[in-house]
Amino acid sequence: MGRPPRKKRSVSSWTTTALVCVSLLTGASAGVLASVSRPAVLDESGEITGSGRVVVLEPEKCVGKPLPLLAHIDIGPELQQGEWIIVLYRRDCRKCHELLERLEAESRLLGACERQVALVELSDYAVDSRAQRDVTSWALPGRLDPRRRWHAAAPTLLHVENGQVVAVSNGDGSVPGT
């Protein structure tokens, strides 16, 4: 004698409906997250386009043009006059700190020169301020608008003359424009 045949289980309409709803909600949530988390960009005029809180900077696209970032730096008006090396750096970046140490040593060795150095931190300003370097003796410290999170390759050096970007370097050892 064999076993009685098993009854086939059918998926209830309730289970099917629940699975469809969960799938739709998951897809809709992913779509909303994707649109909200899409980074904003800075256009040539300095306007931020896009709704994201993160602004992606592409300084290499600014060579030969006015630096649009100046409108978002607290020391921007000062950087529009004269010749500057602007260093975009992160507080938690080892390569950035090595570059800053080298620039500080060169500044102390050479003394005052035609080009001035401005340091603009890309880090989140909520980070412990005790970790910030005292640079006021050799460079001008600046801050980006804290209402946004700024993203760029770090370190990035921009050679700027009267607000125009002359050259950009990734901090690989060369100072742009030398």
Position 30 scores a pLDDT of 47
65 is a domain residue: yes
Q: pLDDT value at position 31?
A: 47
Q: Work out the average pLDDT over 59-73.
A: 95
Domain of 96, CATH number, reads 3.40.30.10
Sequence-distant (≥ 6) Cβ neighbours of residue 109 within 8 angstroms: none
Q: Using the Cα atoms of residue 98, residue 107, residue 120 and residue 87 in order, give the sign of their dihedral.
A: negative
> What pLDDT does residue 34 have?
44
Residue 62 lies in a domain: yes
- Find the domain containing 158 and state its range: 57-169
- Asked, for residue 19, whether it belongs to a domain, the answer is no
Angle among Cα 92, 94, 99 to the nearest 5 degrees reads 115
What is the residue-averaged pLDDT of the chain? 80
Cα 156 to chain center, whole Å? 11
Residues in the chain: 178
- How far is it, in rounded angstroms, from Cα 44 to Cα 58? 10
Count: domains in the chain: 1
> For residue 176, is it within any domain?
no
User: Where is pLDDT greater, at 9 or 84?
Assistant: 84
Q: Is 83 part of any domain?
A: yes
- pLDDT digit string (tens) for 134-177? 677 889 999 999 989 999 999 999 999 999 999 999 876 555 65
